[in-house]
Amino acid sequence: MFFTPSRPDADADWRIASKFSAFYASILRASDLVLLAAMGVLAYWLRFRSFDLPLDYMRNIVRAALFALLVLNGSTLYRSWRGRGLVRESTKLLALWTLVFAAAILYTVALNASDEFSRLWWGSWFALTVTGTIATRVVVRRFSEHLRARGIDQRSAVIVGGGRDAKLLATRFAEQPWIGIEVKGWFAPPHSRQRMQDIPLLGTADTLVDYVDRHHIDQIWIALPMSAGDEIQELLRRLRHSTADIKLVPDLFGMQLLNHSVEQVAGVPIINLRSSPFQDAASVLKTIEDKVLGSLILLLISPVMLAVALGVKLSSPGPVFFRQPRHGLNGRIIEVLKFRSMRVHAEEKGTVTQATKGDPRVTRFGAFLRRTSLDELPQFLNVIRGDMSIVGPRPHAIAHNHQYMEQVDDYMQRHRVKPGITGWAQVNGLRGETDTLEKMARRVEYDLYYLQNWSLAFDLKIIVMTVFKGFVGRNAY
């Protein structure tokens, strides 16, 4: 089963849920910095009964804000807390604020200026900041829980398994609607005689993939014992093309969880097996990166694009742009723009012939565009439109996706993120024709490494590498 057309209502629900999650993260991110500065001023008033802060105190507040940007944004604080306890989040927040204030105080000591500041001011500022940011989270949680209890910002889910853990998971989600996870039903594992009451049986593991695809399920919760390793492996094999989040509920109740890949949702320990790197705050950061850098780059390269467009028009009859249907985020079909580098021709239906060295279809000017990657410049319009990112796995032809999805392990996981103009594979020399299975497997290996290790700094590194070594390649025909 491959991607089926998305239902409009499912797409709308998914977009609304994503926007709510990003909204919560943005509110908390902004409020933390605002509260840090405001509490510094309030602490000064409590100590000196004056809002007329000296310049040195103002500088200290600015320094602390800069340290907060580095420490808080580099943590997991702004990731989705759906179903996680407030105590755990507050403890993490306390630890991070302690680190921020410790760094600010040490910096002040290093400047030999510590005697110029009131210790009482430092202490009250820290206490007020911790109290204020925790109170903000309480308010935001209550607001979001109020919405989720009324069916807004929901995630659809199915459970595989009918044992104790599966029953507990379904019961917790039903009793706590504020978590925002709606269980549609459960699927019986092979050779299972277990049954769950008060939750519909949707089928067996054999029908799971088809149901998830047709109903656009957001999450799959596998609640099988660890002894069922072969069955879990078979489920993952069947779900290898699905872009739904897959979570394993291990039988670890009563054990102390030390592995950082293990988390708790609604008090149930789970292991995230697959999920997109761009969720909540990371999604907002990636969008800002694409919109801001994309607009700036598009402005800078507009004279070059005009010159190239003229060259394409003069090189051979036909349109300036070549529009390619490709799979974008979560397998949705997008239209990728490129400057036309070939003479207008028709291919047999269902076939895509990659350009090869000396390909007679490629014009002389088109060959220059391909060697220098100038034919890719119109894709910055795709970035501004929201179909693509500046950095991400390169989009492949739809026919190639059908071909390689069965031949390369985890091939379709590339579609968990938006395709990019450049990527980690491209700056490492994996550009152009993929005429062997080994070449495609290596490209996918680099793409998956990017998904597993994404950060804003990694994106900027790839962009810089593209400028110096990624435009020209011997394999780009």
Q: Give tens-digit pLDDT for 117-127.
A: 788 999 999 99
Strand 333-339 to strand 262-265: parallel, antiparallel, or no bridges (unpaired)? unpaired
Residues 6 or more apart whose Cβ sits within 8 Å of residue 208: 158, 160, 187, 220, 235, 238, 239
Q: Compute the Cα dihedral for 316, 321, 323, 327 and give only its sign.
A: positive
pLDDT at 14: 44
Q: Under a CB-based contact definition with an 8 Å cutoff, are residues 391 and 459 in contact?
A: yes
DSSP labels, 170-237: HHHHHH-GGG-EEEEEEEEPTT-----SSS-EEEEHHHHHHHHHHHT-SEEEE---TT-HHHHHHHHH
Task: Report pLDDT for 7.
Answer: 41
Phi then psi dihedrals of residue 170, to 5 deg: -65, -40
Position with higher pLDDT, 431 vs 349: 431
The per-residue pLDDT for 477 is: 43
Q: Where are the domains of the chain?
A: 8-148, 155-274, 281-470
d(C-alpha 343, C-alpha 67), whole Å = 56
Q: At residue 187, does pLDDT exceed 80?
A: yes
CATH topology of domain 155-274: Rossmann fold (3.40.50)
With both helix axes pointing from N to C terminus, report the angle between 8-48 and 55-73 in degrees, rounded to the nearest 10. Answer: 150
pLDDT of 133 reads: 94
pLDDT of residue 71: 81
C-alpha span between 208 and 241 (Å, rounded): 13
Q: Which of 278, 281, 247 lies closest to 261, judged by CA?
A: 247
Q: Could you tell me which of 395, 441, 446, 456 has the C-alpha nearest to residue 420?
A: 395
Using an 8 Å Cβ cutoff, are 159 and 183 in contact? yes
Q: Band of the pLDDT at 35, cuts 50, 70, 90?
A: very high
Model confidence at 1: pLDDT above 60: no
pLDDT for the residue numbered 347? 59
More confident residue, 2 or 98: 98
Q: Which of 36-50, 168-182, 440-454 has the highest mean pLDDT?
A: 36-50
Question: Region 60-67: what's the mean pLDDT?
Answer: 92
Could you give the angle at which helices 281-315 and 456-465 cross, rounded to 10 degrees?
20
Q: In this model, does residue 450 exceed pLDDT 60?
A: yes
Q: Residue 191: what pLDDT?
A: 67
Question: What φ, ψ does residue 321 adopt, rounded to 5°?
Answer: -100, 145
Closest-CA residue to 365 (of 307, 284, 281, 439): 307
Of 129, 138, 126, 153, whose CA–CA distance to 23 is shortest? 153
Model pLDDT, residue 128: 96
Residue 147 CB: number of other CB atoms within 10 A? Answer: 14
User: Model pTM?
Assistant: 0.55
Rounded to 10 degrees, the C-alpha dihedral 147/153/155/156 comes to 80
Position 421 scores a pLDDT of 93
Q: What is the mean pLDDT of the chain?
A: 81
The full length of the chain comes to 477
Q: Are 156 and 185 in contact (CB under 8 A)?
A: no
Cβ distance 25 to 284 under 8 Å? Answer: yes
User: pLDDT tens for residues 387-408?
Assistant: 999 999 998 888 888 888 888 8
CB 425 within 8 A of CB 394: yes
pLDDT band at 165 (very low <50, low <70, confident <90, very high): confident
| Dihedral angle over CA of 45, 48, 52, 58, nearest 10 | -80
* Least-confidence region, from 40-49, 116-125, 154-163, 427-436: 427-436
Is the pLDDT confidence value at 432 over 70? no
What tens digit of pLDDT does each residue of 329-383 get? 877 899 999 998 888 766 555 555 555 555 677 888 888 888 888 888 999 999 9
Report d(CA 104, CA 127) in Å as an integer.
15
Using the predicted structure, report yes or no on whether residue 412 has a pLDDT greater than 50: yes
Q: d(Cα 293, Cα 422) in Å, to the nearest integer?
A: 14
- Lowest model confidence (mean pLDDT) among 128-137, 294-303, 410-419, 425-434: 425-434
Q: 290 or 73: which carries more pLDDT confidence?
A: 290
CB 468 within 8 A of CB 435: no
Q: Nearest-CA neighbor of 176 among 141, 138, 134?
A: 141
